[in-house]
Amino acid sequence: MTVTSTPAQTALITGASRGLGAAIARELAPTHELLLGARSADALKPILTELPEATGWPVALTDYPAVAAAAAQIPRLDVLVHNAGIADLGTVAESSVEQWRETLEVNLIAVVELTRALLPALRAANGHVVLINSGAGLRAHPGWGSYAASKFGLRAFADALRQEEPALRVTSLFPGRIDTDMQRAIVADEGREYRPEEFLTPETVAGAVRTALDTPGDGHPTEIVLRPR
């Protein structure tokens, strides 16, 4: 009797060089062939040293011709985790057109375009799209207007994609604030002491991604909300 092994699923994680993206990469490494995305090859060196079986995918996500060319090299994709994003905070009165445009470009438009470019590969695998949203995608607070708008838009995109592509599973994950370098910068801007215990760990959020992916095929985990205790 010949026993054939099932090929490992392939997962592309954006923003995988550090923080939450790197934690998701570590979580999925035992079971997935990983494509790890970041703006540059240099940014990926530490995580690729740690996970030598993974493959770097250095693409600037707002360079849409480069995104299209890189996506065309992926014939099949089981998992797409949209983790890359920015948080440029400020009140409406203090904000600028450039701030709003860049935030929406990185957090929403680039996500849409990468997904669109990878739809053939995702369809080939009946794949799973996971969008790392935010509590700001459910409610907006003072000073978070442009960021929340981008995340509200991301939720709308997920809802539309889920209905337009019924062969795919589409999960929006809404974590509270996470202990990352980005969070440290936000807290410093808020002018208060940084206390890591106030925030979710990246590993906890990565575990929620794993839970979504491991949900049996008869279930569709559409939204997961995760808050610090």
Residue 217 belongs to what H/E stretch?
none
Burial 173-204 (b: 16+ CB within 10 A, else e): bbbbbbbbebbeebbeeeeeeeeeeebbbbee
- Distance, first Cα to last Cα, the chain: 52
Catalytic residue among 57, 100, 144, 147: 147
Q: How far, in Å, CA of 129 to CA of 44, rounded?
A: 22
Residue 147 is among the residues annotated as catalytic for this protein: yes
Q: Do the strands 32-38 and 55-58 form a parallel or antiparallel pair, or are they unpaired? A: parallel
d(CA 62, CA 73): 18
3-state SS assignment for residue 208: helix
Rounded-to-integer distance, Cα 107 and Cα 64, Å? 14
A 10 A CB-CB count for 129 gives 24
One-letter amino acid identity for 85? G
Q: Which residues are catalytic?
A: 147
